[in-house]
Amino acid sequence: MRVFLSLLICLGVLMTEPQAAPLQKATFAGGCFWCMQPPYDKLAGVVSTTVGYTGGNVPNPTYEQVSSGMTGHLEAIQVVYDPSQTSYRELLRVFWMSIDPTDNGGQFADQGSQYQPAIFVHDEQQRLEAEASKKELAASGRFKKPIVTAVLPAKEFYPAEAYHQKYYQKNSPHYNAYKAGSGRAGFIEKSWPEAHR
């Protein structure tokens, strides 16, 4: 009997726990990174979010360096998600509903290269899905201007300073005032009224 059980184990016949799908990573730049964290934090299937800097060539940049616009980095968010609970397509949907995809000079009150919107893709499948969703948005006629958000290969991501992480929770009065005052909140409500009914 013991030999028979050993044989079954060797053959892989015994039932084993199904392997969980490995977590995946997505990276988006949408202007001020404070405003990109809340939509992803409340999305089912998102395991973690980190705001930071990517796209440039300066290692371990500081907020002050990136704010100068001289590092090539963009303010961005990196999302770790469980693909068995949410999809990259859903992450893209949240991204489009959080930005002005027609402005590649910055976002709302924040203008400059460090605030440009972009989708940083980690593999060919993400690139294909990002390009397809961009075309779908352009074809929808939702925006009168062209969709100019870039789709770029992912580069090294550097987490921002601790005080920037979950800023909307740490300083909600200032965050809410900023989001409204920058023009982001009004633009999103006007562009996606069905999401605010």
> Above 90 in pLDDT, residue 2?
no
Give the list of residues 6+ apart from residue 31 with CB closer than 8 angstroms, or none. 75, 99, 106, 107, 108, 110, 115, 117, 184
Single out the residue of 134, 121, 111 nearest to residue 184, CA to CA. Answer: 111
Question: pLDDT tens digits for 126-168?
Answer: 999 999 999 999 999 999 999 999 999 999 999 999 999 999 9
Question: pLDDT tens digits for 74-122?
Answer: 999 999 999 999 999 999 999 999 999 999 999 999 999 999 999 999 9
Mean pLDDT over 8-22 rounds to 54
| Start-end of H helices in 45-87 | 63-67
Per-residue pLDDT at 195: 78
**Entry pTM:** 0.89
Residue 96's Cβ-side half-sphere holds a number of Cα atoms within 13 Å equal to 23
Per-residue pLDDT at 10: 46
Per-residue pLDDT at 18: 54
Residue whose pair of structure tokens reads 């989001």 in the numeric block: 179
> Above 70 in pLDDT, residue 69?
yes
Per-residue pLDDT at 95: 98
CA dist., res. 27 & res. 175, Å (int)? 22
Question: For 19-171+180-196, which CATH superfamily applies?
Answer: Peptide methionine sulphoxide reductase MsrA (3.30.1060.10)
Residues with a known catalytic role: 32
Domain boundaries, the chain: 19-171+180-196
Per-residue pLDDT at 9: 44
CA dist., res. 117 & res. 149, Å (int)? 6
Per-residue pLDDT at 62: 98
